[in-house]
Structure 1
Amino acid sequence: MALPADRTPVIIGVGEFVDRPTDPAAALEPLALMEAAIRAADADAGGSFLDRIDSLDVINLVSWRYDRVASRLAERLGIVPARASYGVAGGETPTTRIHEAALRIMNGNSLVAVVTGGEATNAVAKAKAAGIALEWTPPAASPENPIIASDHVTPLAIRHGIAQPVHIYPLYENAAAAAWGQTPAEALAESGQIWSGYAGVAATNPNSWSKTAFTADQITTPTPDNRIITWPYTKRMVANPAVNQAAAVLLTNLELARAAGIPEDRIVYIHGGASAAEPMDYLARDQFTHSVAQDAVLAAALRLAPEGGFDRRELYSCFPIVPKMARRQLGLDADAPFTVTGGLSFFGAPLNTYMTHAVCAMVRSLRKTPSKGALIYGQGGYVTKHHALVVGSFPPEPSSLVTPHDVQDEAEAMRGPIPELDLMYEGEARVETFAIVANRDGTPAYGSVIGRTPDGTRVFARVAANDEDTLALLLDTTRSPIGTGGVVSVTDDGLQRWEA
């Protein structure tokens, strides 16, 4: 039995706003960007829903840290929603909040909901460089919701200098490539192929920050304007947060949508979704060749797929390893289309809210070419939090929306033993995975090896910048160093060191 129309959640409006002033003093602050995006979403839905919003979700902001974020935005809009929430950090939060809004509509706890996010990182950086004071709403002394929780970036990770996303995703990149039987050169070629596909889509998206359709070689080859950040990732292979962008997604139930006269071909249905997570501390994970949380979430999404599978998808793209792992779980070839938006490197990465833009792009794609089912997959943290959302041009199967939102138990059932971490160990250890962080000129600044001792214990060891032999082994593109043996010692600073 299908859901009644007054309990069937649908997306009826999407809005985006891109701000590119030449003078950063003229730039709009994030509150103004989000207000513009919400008003655009309401106009997209016919212009009669703004005053009826009873649920407002704001994605976590980074570029300008306010207090009372959701309340301030509601005041700018002149609305008083019964529920106004400001989210925690995470790239998956837009898909999570849209899914949760759909469930509230399905359960009769909401009639009209909006999810929005916006950043002005480009303007903030340019104003700082020019010594300009931005006349925006003053930032809070104690902003809401920390950007990064202390248990996510541990003191040990900070001491090693392996504490940022661009340092940690290569741990998965290097381990997974070896597990797939690829040489580093072959893995880099796959990344370039996939990333050039994202760049090509961004070049045609009017809301993209960058509109250059880079080739695979232009993406993977280091140059002065495309330097290595952390091996093997160049600047064009990482997310670009230096943007001023905002997006909003407006939801209601099918009955209200039809009563407002919204044409059927402009309505997009929420079919369901799933979420799961890895341990926050990356050293407390079972391995780095794949993510059991990602596997469980995508497996749940596949159970919601129409016969023949998804005909389009948006796979999160902060770094190439994310869609590379996802495509294997989904059974896709490397040349399959992975985005309708353009990716975080090229469309732009307004930090936590890229997936809000992705939902906007997917809605427009479905309006243009209807589909029984499309996949929108987001990720947050350091391969940490995962959420998949399935949408379509037609009503879902009756059982779809009640599919378990949380598939953590499935992820845990697939998880292997967590190796014990011995930070005082000295002796032989083989490479489990590694990261080499580069200087601005592309030379190695330092590295870290996560290794395994003969009894399976895990070690976390530095690689010195002047250890040319060890760096040469780790950076060899003709063979993977994963599994290679070396020697661990504890240095005067108390950290372990690994040498080939």
Structure 2
Amino acid sequence: MILPANIPVIVGVGEYIDRPSTPSHGLEPMDLMLRAAHAAANDAHSALLSQVDSLDVVNISSWPYPDAPGHLAQCLDIRPRHTTYGPVGGQSPLALLQDAAQRIANGQSQVALVCGAEAQHTVTQALKQGIELPWTAPGSDAQMPLRGADIVHSLAVRLGCSQPLSIYPFYETASAAHWRQSPSAAQRESGELWGRYSQHATSNATVWLPGPYSAADIITASSDNRMVAWPYTKLMVANPQVNQGAAVLLTSLERARDAGIPEQQLVYPWGGAQAQEPRDFLARDHYWESHAQNAVLTACVHLAGGAFEALELYSCFPCVPKMARRILGLPARFEPTVTGGLTFFGAPLSNYMTHAVCAMVRRLRTSLSVSRGLLYGQGEFVTKHHGLVLARRPYPGHPALAYSNVQQIADSHRLVVPAVEAEPRGAGQLEAFTLLYHPNGELRHGVAMVRTPHNTRTLARVAADDNWTLLALTDRDISPVGRTGVLRPTQHGYSEWSLVA
């Protein structure tokens, strides 16, 4: 029998959004976290916030604090025995929440707080307007995250593919071709899916970009919705220009009952799973699926003992929930979110899934038809994956919290990874591709991921004036993936790829 003292429960959730009239009036991330934490305490209707002994802070990108957990603890007037400052990544809040719940299950903690915030919109506007923000001085020893250029292959850097915006389209174009979708059908699926995210965002009180937006609004390029990286428009990608904070308060079932918190207020973390892909995206066997994503989602289904009544599938780019839908065996039309998605609700960088936890907790409390919810987050370039199961009842198995590192399962499915060749010459078969655009909507160039006859892989440039090749790459009826073109070395450390007319 599992004792109530060892059963972790979520007792309070809180969020805060800031829309200042001028950047000088904007709240810094620390203030957003404080307001979210107090909102979570009010939601719990208890004095548990003052008893926090475990504090986890999601990585903050918009303002570099030298010691974010220490500063927050001081502001809250608490002295936690355990503090963590999480790594960059959209999966990070779920990992922090699971770790906090595990400490409660192990008897190492009594009350835990997980929180995070970003104020990127205010920071960006202040930079544009030349306003110096009167915020906490960033320390010289503040932790700086790795840049994309520090992680990916140098060939990708040379061709402008070191950020998520220029990498996820490889998965989009490769997966659509693998599923035998025409480009127009794939885009239609993305638009309809994103439309459902937008619809859910309208009911969220802390949404950044209220709508709703239709599928046509989302996938049709226009002056207000420019192409950013083929086949994605601005309304198909994460929007980090937000000011949002969120917090989750946890304790044990025993302590929650002692505090007088009603049973219907409690939500139970059942556990989850995690795995990763190689950090350099060119060191992967193919791009129409993620072995780590497959293993994590399969493990969560097994943990839950079947299907979920509510979902939050990470939505930085459409290929992510589209791949997840297929591994979960969901129908073409399904509800992918309880929050609203990273485009419409907003993408506070690493902290979106903390907001998703808040939304899932509210759904589990208020909907009798929802007994189990799946939260799935992802970080970097389809790299870091974490799934977490929440429920209205305690986990029926033993121990109180299940955890599965499914890395070995993910790795066991990998095929041989081709070596990267920087400047090959001769024939090359298209594996995936994207087109990159300037902020004014003009095409910069294309990037083709190509396999050579001697089984190497390269990234090659497609010239902006190669009209014949560009016409094939943007064909709405026939995918160009699988077509063979010609590779020609350049003097810039990469080859160019083109189709022969």
Give the alignment's TM-score, normalised by structure 2: 0.97
Deviations 1:319-350 (A, max 9, x none): 11100000000011221000000000000110
**Match of 1:417?**
416
Label 1:361 to 1:402 Cα distance change in 2 as closer, same or farther (>3 A): closer
**Match of 1:346?**
344
User: Hey, what's the Cα distance between the residues in 2 that align with 1:445 and 1:400?
Assistant: 54
Label 1:49 to 1:147 Cα distance change in 2 as closer, same or farther (>3 A): farther
| TM-align CA RMSD | 1.3
Q: Does 1:455 align with 2:454?
A: yes
Deviations 1:92-115 (A, max 9, x none): 000111011111111111111111
The amino acid of 1:213's aligned partner reads P
Mapping 1:172-251, distance limit 5 Å: 172-251=171-250
Q: CA deviation at 1:12?
A: 0.5
User: Hey, what's the Cα distance between the residues in 2 that align with 1:338 and 1:61?
Assistant: 26
Q: Does 1:385 align with 2:350?
A: no
The amino acid of 2:55's aligned partner reads L
- Residues 304, 400 of structure 1: 8 Å contact kept: no
Q: CA deviation at 1:482?
A: 0.5
- Residues 28, 135 of structure 2: 8 Å contact kept: yes
User: Hey, what's the Cα distance between the residues in 1 that align with 2:492 and 2:419?
Assistant: 22
The percent of aligned pairs where both chains have the same amino acid is 48
After the TM superposition, list the runs of 4 or more consecutive aligned residues in structure 1 that deviate by more than 6 angstroms. none
The amino acid of 1:317's aligned partner reads S
**Match of 1:336?**
334
The amino acid of 1:103's aligned partner reads Q
Q: CA deviation at 1:425?
A: 2.0
Q: CA deviation at 1:450?
A: 1.0
**Match of 2:90?**
91
User: Hey, what's the Cα distance between the residues in 1 that align with 2:403 and 2:355?
Assistant: 25
- Residues 170, 231 of structure 1: 8 Å contact kept: yes
Mapping 1:66-465, distance limit 5 Å: 66-148=65-147, 151-307=150-306, 309-370=307-368, 371-399=370-398, 403-465=402-464
Q: CA deviation at 1:440?
A: 3.2
Label 1:291 to 1:447 Cα distance change in 2 as closer, same or farther (>3 A): same
Secondary structure of the residue that 2:405 maps to in structure 1? coil
Label 1:153 to 1:332 Cα distance change in 2 as closer, same or farther (>3 A): same
User: Hey, what's the Cα distance between the residues in 2 that align with 1:71 and 1:248?
Assistant: 16
User: Hey, what's the Cα distance between the residues in 2 that align with 1:50 and 1:395?
Assistant: 23
- Residues 149, 157 of structure 2: 8 Å contact kept: no
**Match of 2:30?**
31
Q: Does 1:488 align with 2:496?
A: no
User: Hey, what's the Cα distance between the residues in 1 that align with 2:219 and 2:18?
Assistant: 29
Give the alignment's TM-score, normalised by structure 1: 0.97
Secondary structure of the residue that 1:389 maps to in structure 2? strand
Label 1:407 to 1:145 Cα distance change in 2 as closer, same or farther (>3 A): farther
Q: CA deviation at 1:395?
A: 0.8
User: Hey, what's the Cα distance between the residues in 1 that align with 2:304 and 2:349?
Assistant: 29
The amino acid of 1:393's aligned partner reads R
Deviations 1:204-251 (A, max 9, x none): 111111111000000000010000000110000011111110000111
Deviations 1:45-92 (A, max 9, x none): 113111211111111111111101110111111111011111110000
User: Hey, what's the Cα distance between the residues in 1 that align with 2:444 and 2:194?
Assistant: 26
Q: CA deviation at 1:417?
A: 1.1
User: Hey, what's the Cα distance between the residues in 2 that align with 1:132 and 1:362?
Assistant: 37
Q: Number of aligned residue pairs: give it.
A: 498
Q: CA deviation at 1:183?
A: 0.7
Deviations 1:376-434 (A, max 9, x none): 00000010000000010001122375544310001011111111112232111100111
User: Hey, what's the Cα distance between the residues in 2 that align with 1:452 and 1:256?
Assistant: 59
